[in-house]
Structure 1
Amino acid sequence: MSGAAPAAVVTSGSYAPYRDDWLALHTEPALEPDLPIVDAHHHLWDAPRPKYMYEDMRRDIAASGHNVVATVHVDCRSMYRQDGPAELRSVGEVEFVNGVAAMAASGAYGTTRACAGIVGFGALHLGARARPVLEALVQAGGARFKGVRQISAWDDDPRLAPPNAERPPGLLADRTFREGFALLAPLGLRFDAWLYQTQIPELTDLARAFPETPIVLDHAGTPVGIGRYAGRRRELFGPWKNAIVELASCPNVSIKLGGLGMIVGGFGFNERERPPTSVELAEAWKPYVETCIEAFGASRCMFESNFPPDRATCSYGVLWNAFKRMAAGASTEEKAALFAGTAQRFYGLFAR
């Protein structure tokens, strides 16, 4: 494979090709290499997407030089069962990830507790009928199973359609979906929300309707910069910020800082001849990260790699250096929360 920049092909609002030879054109030593990190959001998958399995993540973590002590795996429609009731097929992903977590916990593959937390797909759109699905997920994941994600990202621009975008607009307000959502808190489960910045008020309404359910907004609310939103970053920043501040008024909501390397953000780093430096990433992303930290406070913010989607933009080591640069002015206590403590507390990692 050549070292040229990857083609600027957008097959969805989330993913673009990532190539090892291009990423290798820029490397950096880890900043603050001893700082403990809990990677609050990543995926493992095989075909038809470019493969990213446990061995690939182990290689990225080892090469990065960062002290990643644990990770949280979030649903990505990987390893679903091929047969059985359709609503229970997502249990296969939790079974698969729990097996990876057991491998990591053995210590035979390094010190990182990969997949120490597992977030699955719980078919909340089934309403009250989702309960046996959630119970099956809990049984499959045991103490590592922490909650569910049901993607609600939607836009009428087809260029922003996420993979497997089989969801209606306004999902979070749907009465049947909310019947399923009401099952989470009694089962001790959390909810991961992925949606676009234009939909953040929908999550605010949901959070206020269910104040006892812990919710985390993925990917800093997914600022958009492609399709009909291209070239409008300055115009769109204000509405995004206002929506983030309003959401932060809900004490049951936390936020993940990351996912800005996805193609939907429109930053275009993946189209360059060489990958970006952590300085360049920090400069581009800092307005979003700083706004989230100011709105939510370090105790409700957690950094995430969102690998492998964000691998289209930079390497694992450069990504965490960028986060550390953006958090350089934080206190020791704030850094501990941002990089590990908030994720560990929100997901109840290692709790038995």
Structure 2
Amino acid sequence: MVASTAASTRSGLYADPNETWLALHTEDIIDPARPVVDPHHHLWDRGGVRYLMEEMTDDVSSGHNIVATVYVEARSMYRACGPEAFRPVGEVEFVNGCAAMAASGAYGKTLVAHGIVGHTNLLLGDGARAVLEAEIAAGNGRFRGIRHSSPWDADKDVAGIYAERPKGLLLDPTFRKGFSCLAPLGLSYDGWLFFTQLNEFADLARAFPDTKMCLDHCGGIIGIGSYAGRREEIFRTWKASIQEVAKCPNVVVKLGGLAMVLPGFGFHEWPKPPNSEQAAAAWKPYIETCIEAFGVDRCMFESNFPPDKGQCSYQVIFNAFKRLAAGYSESEKTALFSKSATDFYRLQLPS
């Protein structure tokens, strides 16, 4: 029954959340007392889709013990005027306001956007430093780093909203000049790219060993467009690349992003949303490969909401992660669900 499934996809990358469809399946929370730091979510109001404080706090209060979150840039609430290079500062200003709302306690116990990852155009080269300094000031102690997304693929059905991005961005000398501004300011870099570009990410990490880097969404697995029907072949290529990236000690990885449309699991086309057992079974090879390569101290489970909400609820996504982590020790679970994120983003949490 197509009418009951999740909403239309966003340029092939993810599906818009459909609350009616998601409500067709609910679950009891696994290990509800475990503290969780969600290191990757967005807030936006665009294209008819609203995901702001009310929607976020509804999700984080749906059963799991989410103590804090990290906001990651999404071209949300840029300044409408002023110098083009400084318009992304508006996103940090907006999110810092949301974080202040959360810190008031009026929206529940979760410290939403306790850490902020913004955006600076690193193709500004040396000029990136002034923008970064402005974002540090706007973050009021919460700003931790930036993401300059670099997905590129010749298949425009795969590239989606990134179709006009330049090929080989991470290798660009001007980009790297801008990148060199991060470490001296104590800032980290989140990398969002496709698995076909992991060699470029590894090259960047080796060139800047003193810069803390995070690989988002398990390294950008693709299972749609020209990559559809090639899961085993792609898995082998992706796994080898992940193992190479993991050799860089300055890199950590976020375990998630697998409920987007991009990886090709197709849950959004089901009559009912998947349960956590089904999701965990689909994601297990990717999650286990990342943990084996990086170790638990360099891995962190992420919601990637609202993009991943197009295929499963907040209850289901973290239940799936808890199923996948069931065989690990207590200290290893702590690393995966909170400590790795807390350490990487330098979060100060209430005792």
TM-score, normalized by the shorter chain, greater than 0.5: yes
Q: 2:154 and 2:247 mapped to 1: Cα distance?
A: 29
Which residue does the alignment assign to 2:12?
13
Q: 2:243 and 2:162 mapped to 1: Cα distance?
A: 30
Q: What value does the CA root-mean-square deviation take over the aligned residues?
A: 1.5
Quick one: structure 1 residues 8 and 98, their matched pair in 2 at CA, closer, same or farther if it must change by over 3 Å?
closer
Amino acid at match of 2:73: D
* Residues 6 and 18 in structure 2, CA contact (< 8 A), matched pair in contact too: no
Q: 2:21 and 2:6 mapped to 1: Cα distance?
A: 11
Q: 2:48 and 2:117 mapped to 1: Cα distance?
A: 20
What is the percent sequence identity of the aligned residues? 59
Which residue does the alignment assign to 2:250?
252
SS at match of 2:139: helix
Which residue does the alignment assign to 1:87?
85
Report the CA distance between 1:8 and its aligned residue.
7.5
Q: How does 1:293-304 map to 2 (within 5 A)?
A: 293-304=291-302
Which residue does the alignment assign to 1:196?
194
Moved more, 166-175 or 189-198: 166-175
Q: 1:268 and 1:330 mapped to 2: Cα distance?
A: 29
Which residue does the alignment assign to 1:338?
336
Amino acid at match of 1:254: V
Q: How does 1:58-137 map to 2 (within 5 A)?
A: 58-63=57-62, 65-137=63-135
Report the CA distance between 1:10 and its aligned residue.
3.6
Size of the aligned set, in residue pairs, is 350
Q: 1:82 and 1:58 mapped to 2: Cα distance?
A: 27
TM-score normalised by L of structure 2: 0.97
Structure 1 residue 35 and structure 2 residue 68: aligned? no
Quick one: structure 1 residues 164 and 197, their matched pair in 2 at CA, closer, same or farther if it must change by over 3 Å?
closer
Q: 2:258 and 2:248 mapped to 1: Cα distance?
A: 23
Report the CA distance between 1:5 and its aligned residue.
3.2
* Residues 149 and 191 in structure 2, CA contact (< 8 A), matched pair in contact too: yes
SS at match of 2:44: coil
Amino acid at match of 1:28: E
Residue ranges of structure 1 left out of the alignment (5+ in a row)? none
Quick one: structure 1 residues 258 and 246, their matched pair in 2 at CA, closer, same or farther if it must change by over 3 Å?
same
Report the CA distance between 1:155 and its aligned residue.
0.4
SS at match of 1:265: coil
Report the CA distance between 1:342 and its aligned residue.
0.3
Q: How does 1:320-335 map to 2 (within 5 A)?
A: 320-335=318-333
Residue ranges of structure 2 left out of the alignment (5+ in a row)? none
Structure 1 residue 265 and structure 2 residue 263: aligned? yes
User: Residues 272-303 of structure 1, C-alpha deviation per residue, up to 9 Å, x if partnerless?
Assistant: 00000000000000000000000000000001
* Residues 8 and 271 in structure 1, CA contact (< 8 A), matched pair in contact too: no
Q: 1:329 and 1:207 mapped to 2: Cα distance?
A: 31
